[in-house]
Structure 1
Amino acid sequence: MHRTAHRPVTVEAHRDKFRALLAPLAARIQTVPLREALGRGLAADVTAPLDLPPFANSQMDGFAIRSADVRDGGAELRVAAPIPAGTQPAALAPGSAAPIMTGAPIPAGADAVVPIELAVPDSFPEPGADATVRLPAAPAGNFVRDAGSDIAAGQTALAAGTFLGPGQLGLLSALGLAEVPVHAVPRVLLVTTGDEVVEPGRPLQPGKIYDANGTLLDSALRQAGLNVTRTGISADDPGELARLLQTHAPEVDLIVTTGGVSKGAYEVVRQALAGHDVEFGAVAMQPGGPQGIGTFDGVPILGFPGNPVSCLVSFEMFLRPVLAELFGSPAPRTTVRARLAEALSSPENKHQVRRGSLGPDGTVRLEGGPGSHLVHALARANALVQIPVGTAALAVGDEVEVWVL
């Protein structure tokens, strides 16, 4: 039998429930080619197998020199054989300067590079020509990238849990790694419920509304990197919903439903999950208070409320941050402090989440009111404004925490 929590829990406590429920899924690890790892979460620490760069090299096109050969007044040096990138140069003889290209190895004996634009003449002689060049003094290490100056062999290159974007994959490639261990992508069944809900594109009869939740959550889940299976809209028939869940449960790692979790007379998700280890209750949050969480036939199940803004806020406040923490993907939302462009009020005993537009001047303007049906306001927003429990009112210019969408 499902359980009912009689007192609202905090946002943090409900997020803890998500973490505990989904933690076992993070143990599934697979190794994939770098090209398939974009947007995934790293499942184990990666240690650098070599120095990066692997050898001392030139930061500039110029002349490799022995710094001791060029004093404060500069010096005239013989031009040695040029050093293109990708070659292994001979040692640099005293009193000579070798034309060197960016990224080419520093020859033995050299310890500095003078940029070509500081040379007289400021151009490279023809290879093999008997030439000299006058160069100004340069300290040891001038425009030299030392071996291991980026990362040394044996150091941790990336920690487990890192979100793998282009920069991270570029580092792994530079270290010579062709594969990477990542968390397996969870398979999610998304179910929208409601007799009143109609698929977009179909005729809208009196008393019916088009389904926004399915598209909202499907988009959010896929954007977070999850593998989503959607069913058609499930009618308010508990037996039908239970059969649908039983059919798909063996094929997925997580079930997410929308609607049917409140205390009304026709709450189909509550009715369909009777006999399963699921808890229904309220979170001290607006919107998104009614929530369900537990397991169905051993599969984790999350019951989000039915209003569009409520279900998306539930995803952003609970599921997305826990996925980022446990799986390293998606990347966490950027959190900033911003000044309110207008005053607001909030229920003091609830954590309120308002939609807002964050401007380049560091202010945030509220989009719409606190209502959970305001999809147009949600579409205009680029941020979630967090008003914590204990706050009844804020004035223009007050600072708030903002999650950038």
Structure 2
Amino acid sequence: MNRPEEYRALLEEGPTPGQRAFAGAAAVSLEEAQHRLLAELAPLAGEVVPLGEALRRHAARDVRAPRPVPAEPRAALDGYAVRCEDLGTLDTDAIVWLPLAGQQAAGLGAPAPLPPGAVHRVATGAVLPQGADAVVRWEEVEVRRTAHGMVEVGFRRALEAGEGVVPAGEEAAQGQLLLRVGSRVDAAAAGRLAVAGLQEVVVRRRPRVWLITLGDELLAPGAPYQTGGTYDSNGVMLAGWLRCLPVELTVRGPLPDDLAALTAGLSEATEAGADLVITSGGISAGPYDLVAPALEALAGRILFRQVRVHPGKACAAAIVRGVPVVAVPGSPSAAAVDYWVLVRPALVRLLGGRWEPLRLRLPLAGGYPRPSRQRRLLWARLLAGPDGAPWVQAGAVQRSSAVASLAGASCLVEVPAGSGPVPEGERVTTWLLELEASETSDEAATSGRR
């Protein structure tokens, strides 16, 4: 912190051409910013991994069942396997006695065929004996031993074919699509592949992501406090969200407000094979905001310089030596918004999917007292309304520099540009950040890159 001689030099020299360009740039809409950034990205190359290592990653190709699931008819319950025709039609008081010909537990292979006019005792999941077409619960029958020591089973009702039976291929036919390219592998998807006998899957490789925080005022958490300093909450917060995704993360910073240091950090990231670089801080047009000069020094191709959204307007993206760089503000709330609306979609794109939060129209608890000249995104949380249905409540402190409203927030409330104060109970568009409306690829298949 505190390098007054360098600050005086910056003030005397005035803004660089890059800073002037950023200061005078027309802001693009959020949708246009997303389009420009995502157009530069393609899903990464695929790699074969064990199912246990595929969680949260995206399939790089379609996965189909190599065999029917289950491969043979199975007993759906503990009971007795029988031919329905052997029972005929039973009256209320009638009982049909059939001899017990064998028994079958789950996992013991195929049993002997069922003789005509006989039954097999079966356990849940056992392969049905050939010839049987129904299973009745053991609680519904009577069992007796004859004078000759033979066990007989008594039935008091007729059965329909298929009753108590899991047919072959009920869960998946041979060749049926189990996982579509671009789909995210969650625990249930991995389980579905495992039940089909698969132990590996082709997924997109993990993106190599670099996070660089910068600012002379930043203090590492745990460091002694210095007057005027700010602890680096963005580094912790953004790294935390990034680690929730299957990425290989490298963190640098906090770096000083020094052009050489920032340029060196960006160069190191590109030379190390980064797939995406995120910078936090230094993105405005002041004399100490050095992201623009650094991008200029590295001949970066600018995608956009500002975004029409609050907080998060001071956000830029560029391609530096073939690597996408997203520069988010140093203000925590603004950086968080830009992470969710720009960085997160970019990462999911690299992973082979498409990220789009589920959006609902929900009543706003407590309202919002301020008019919104520009499109505004408010940090909010879900709660149960007076009628028990979901409502949404915006945090009390929505200042760009504040972290308080982020804690416990699970969604963003969108307030259109030109809106007045939002009254209690008015329905607002709510982005549920952890519930995706779609996280699959737009393309049926893609070869990936790098």
Alignment TM-score, normalising by the size of structure 1: 0.92
Aligned to 1:198: 219
Task: Say yes or no: does 1:41 pair with 2:58.
Answer: yes
Please state if 1:158 is matched with 2:179: yes
1:62–1:391 distance in 2 versus 1, CA, 3 Å: farther
Offset from partner CA, 1:257-291 (integer Å, 9 cap, x none): 01111122321111111132134522111111111
**SS of the counterpart of 1:270?**
helix
Whether 1:22 and 2:50 are equivalent positions in the alignment is no
2:210 to 189, 193, 206: 189
CA contact (8 A) 2:136 2:164 kept: yes
| Counterpart position of 2:377 | 353
Query: Which moved further from structure 2: 212-221 or 357-366?
Result: 357-366
> Does the 8 A contact of 1:351 with 1:387 survive in 2?
yes
Residue in 2 aligned with 1:265?
Answer: 287
User: Secondary structure of 2:305's partner?
Assistant: strand
Which residue identity does 1:379 align to in structure 2?
Answer: A
SS at match of 1:82: strand
Pick aligned residue for 1:243 from 264, 268, 274: 264
Q: How many residue pairs are counted as aligned between the two chains?
A: 399
Amino acid at match of 1:145: V
Deviations 1:55-96 (A, max 9, x none): 110100001011112223352211110111122112112221
Alignment of 1:7-156 (within 5 A): 7-23=26-42, 26-70=43-87, 71-73=89-91, 74-86=95-107, 87-121=109-143, 130-135=150-155, 136-156=157-177
How far apart are the structure 2 equivalents of 1:229 and 1:187?
8
In structure 2, the CA distance between the partners of 1:280 and 1:16, relative to structure 1 (3 Å rule), is closer
The aligned amino acid for 1:371 is R
Structure 1 residues 331 and 282 mapped into 2: Cα distance closer, same or farther (>3 Å)?
closer
TM-score normalised to the size of structure 2? 0.83
Distance 1:27 1:231, change over 3 A: closer
Could you say which residue in structure 1 is the equivalent of 2:448? none
In 2 relative to 1, CA 337–99 (structure 1 residues): closer, same or farther, beyond 3 Å? farther
- Which residue pairs with 1:377 in the alignment? 405
**Cα distance change on mapping 1:159 and 1:392 into 2, 3 Å:** farther
What is the CA–CA distance in structure 1 between the aligned matches of 2:214 and 2:44, rounded to whole Å?
A: 31
Secondary structure, in 3 states, of the residue corresponding to 2:257? coil
Q: Is the 8 A contact 1:323 1:330 kept in 2?
A: no
Say which is worse superposed, 285-294 or 14-23, in terms of deviation.
14-23
- Give, as a single letter, the amino acid of the residue that structure 2 aligns with 1:215: V
Partner of residue 444, structure 2: none
Partner of 1:402 in structure 2?
431
The answer on whether the counterparts of 1:77 and 1:134 sit within 8 Å (CA) in structure 2 is: yes
1:213-252 matches, cutoff 5 A: 213-251=234-272, 252=274
Stretches of structure 1 lacking an aligned partner (at least 5 in a row): none
Gaps of 5+ in 2: 1-16, 435-450
Q: Equivalents in 2 of 1:377, 1:157: separation in Å?
A: 41
Q: 1:270-309 to 2 correspondence within 5 Å? A: 270-274=292-296, 275-309=299-333
The amino acid across from 1:29 in the alignment is G
Query: Match of 2:137, as an amino acid?
Result: P
Distance 1:59 1:165 in 2: 27
- Residue 328 of structure 1 and its aligned partner are, at CA, apart by 4.7
Q: In structure 2, the residue corresponding to 1:38 is in which secondary structure?
A: coil
How many angstroms does 1:389 deviate by?
4.3
**Cα distance, 1:322 vs. partner?**
3.6
CA distance in 2 between partners of 1:129 and 1:316 (Å): 73
Inter-partner Cα distance in structure 2 for 1:385 and 1:392: 15
Deviations 1:271-315 (A, max 9, x none): 111132134522111111111111222221111111011111111
Is the 2:219–2:225 contact (alpha carbons within 8 Å) kept by the matching residues of 1? yes
8 Å contact from structure 2 (residues 398, 405) kept in 1: no
| Residue in structure 2 matched with residue 170 of structure 1 by the alignment | 191
Deviations 1:356-385 (A, max 9, x none): 121144011211233112212211323222
Q: d(CA) in 2 for partners of 1:27 and 1:328?
A: 7
1:129 and 1:325 mapped to 2: Cα distance? Answer: 70
